[in-house]
Amino acid sequence: MSYHLHTLREYSFPAVSSAMQKAIRRGDAKLAGYWALELWASGFGQYVWKRLLTVSAEDCWGILTAEVKALHESYLFINKDAPAKKPKGRIFISKAVILLSMAKKSRDADHLQNFVYDQQAGLDAETLTDELENAGEYIPIPDYAYDCHTPQGKKAGKTKADFFKAEQESLSPFIPGLFDDLIDS
């Protein structure tokens, strides 16, 4: 038996999660915020924070993780006495999404770990020894969200090599990274 998580608006949970991170990578704060708040409104607030912290390390240049962590701590403080089913403080999620979306992008940390440990990525490892309910029309999940990390992308034959190339090309704003020359363009 297969169990598939869906959001409030019946989006596929893995696709929304992927769309949120990829919109941040592309510097699209508006769309990234839509997906983050869709997850939050659907009861996946804790997951959103885990993903945003990961994005801060995986996709952004500089030291942003401390800022995202501080926003998360503020969110927890606001919710200290709030009922679990009625969390508050989505403003802190919005702020984190905007901060991450507007940050310079670099996938160096992710590239480094994959060059060293993930031989299946197709990379040359040897080279480196409530508002949501009224938000309006239903926004389709962009095609780029369906990569090797989602069931739909896997079914379509998307590979890690495809992922690295597409995501490197989509970084916005872009800052040159240490390992850019190792990605096939």
Give 74-85 pLDDT, tens digit per residue: 999 999 988 877
Containing domain of residue 129, as a range? 13-182
In a domain, 128, yes or no: yes
Query: How high is the mean pLDDT of the chain?
Result: 88
Q: Is residue 71 part of a domain?
A: yes
Q: Which pLDDT band, with edges at 50, 70 and 90, does 3 fall under?
A: low
- The number of CA neighbours under 13 Å toward the Cβ of 179 is 22
- The alpha-carbon radius of gyration of the chain (Å, integer) is 17
- Whether residue 118 is contained in a domain is answered as yes
Instruction: Give the model's pLDDT for residue 139.
Output: 82
* Residue 164: predicted pLDDT: 87
Provide the number of structural domains found in the chain. 1
14 sits in the region (left: phi over 0; alpha: psi -120 to 50; else beta) called: alpha
Residue 7 falls inside a structural domain: no
What distances in angstroms separate CA 33 from CA 19, 80, 137, one per listed residue?
10, 24, 15
Q: What is the pLDDT of residues 149-167, one digit of tens each?
A: 999 999 999 998 899 899 9
Query: Would you say residue 8 lies in a domain?
Result: no
Distance (Å, whole) CA 144 – CA 38: 18
Q: Is the pLDDT of residue 1 over 90?
A: no
**Is residue 52 scored above 80 in pLDDT?**
yes
Instruction: Tell me which DSSP letter residue 62 carries.
Output: S
Average pLDDT over residues 18-27: 97
Position 50 pLDDT exceeds 80: yes
159 φ/ψ angles, rounded to the nearest 5 degrees: -115, 170
Mean pLDDT of 99-112: 92
- In this predicted structure, the answer to whether residue 132 has a pLDDT above a threshold of 60 is no
**Which residue has tokens 């952004």?**
60
Q: How far is CA 88 from CA 18, 92, 99, 102, 168, in A?
A: 24, 9, 20, 24, 35
Whether 1 is covered by a domain: the verdict is no
Domain containing residue 129: CATH number: 1.20.272.10
The verdict on residue 3 lying in a domain is no
- What's the rounded Cα separation, in Å, for the pair 104 and 141? 24
Q: In the prediction, which pLDDT does 175 show?
A: 83
* Sequence-ordered list of residues with C-beta below 8 angstroms from that of 108, at least 6 positions apart, any chain: 61, 177, 178, 179
Q: Is the pLDDT of residue 14 over 60?
A: yes
- Please give the share of the chain, as a percent, with pLDDT higher than 70: 86
Residue 4 placed within a domain: no
